[in-house]
């Protein structure tokens, strides 16, 4: 009797498929949710990284369009370029804009440097530039933005990611940009 009862129960379970879909859904849902949230987080991080690049380009480009700048002009330029980061928080961005004089094929000396919530380059310090970027005794505008991105969904393993971009440009209207 026990064996026939067990056999009948086993056969009944095999024939009943009404709960199969629910079991499959319960198994696959966490995987699908993780894939969805992971792709959202990845695309958001890529978007933020791209915004940092565009903001750095705007910062350097706007600065290179002047021949004479006041500190208030630089503040306005930094505030304008940070707007490009929207909808990401401007509080997570460190902005540094500098002018350097090329002294060697891969070295330049800092002429001036200003910052918004970051560390400015030290005047007369030497920085490395890409080889053969500009001729000796010419000037370059160097814009750098460092952004600390915190993913909306971290999965307990991903923490803040730091994006940094630096762009160098020649001044457009004069050989050198003067700060007044």
**Each residue of 112-137: pLDDT tens digit?**
999 998 899 999 999 988 888 888 88
For residue 153, the model assigns a pLDDT of 77
For residue 159, the model assigns a pLDDT of 80
How many domains is the chain built from? Answer: 1
125 lies in some domain: yes
Q: Over the stretch 61-106, which tens digit does the pLDDT of each residue have?
A: 999 999 999 999 999 999 999 999 999 998 999 999 999 999 888 8
60 lies in some domain: yes
Please give the residue range of the domain that contains residue 124.
23-179
Report residue 153 CA to chain centroid gap: 17
Q: Structure pTM?
A: 0.79
Mapping DSSP to helix (H, G, I), strand (E, B) and coil, where does residue 135 land? coil
For residue 4, the model assigns a pLDDT of 79
Rg over alpha carbons for the chain, rounded to the nearest Å, is: 28
Whole-number Å distance between alpha carbons of 65 and 75: 15
């Amino acid at each position: 009797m026990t064996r026939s009862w067990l056999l009948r129960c086993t056969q009944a379970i095999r024939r009943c498929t009404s709960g199969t879909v629910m079991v499959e859904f319960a198994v696959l849902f966490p995987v699908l949710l993780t894939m969805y949230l992971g792709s959202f987080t990845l695309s958001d991080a890529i978007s933020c990284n791209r915004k940092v690049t565009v903001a750095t380009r705007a910062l350097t480009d706007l600065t290179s369009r002047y021949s004479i700048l006041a500190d208030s002009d630089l503040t306005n330029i930094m505030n304008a370029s940070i707007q490009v980061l929207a909808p990401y928080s401007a509080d997570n961005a460190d902005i540094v804009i500098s002018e350097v004089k090329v002294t060697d094929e891969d070295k330049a000396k800092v002429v001036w440097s200003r910052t918004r919530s970051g560390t400015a380059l030290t005047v007369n310090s030497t920085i490395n530039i890409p080889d053969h970027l500009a001729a000796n005794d010419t000037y370059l505008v160097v814009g750098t933005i460092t952004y600390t991105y915190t993913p909306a969904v971290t999965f307990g393993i991903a923490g803040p990611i730091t994006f940094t971009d630096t762009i160098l440009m020649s001044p457009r209207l004069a050989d050198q940009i003067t700060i007044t």
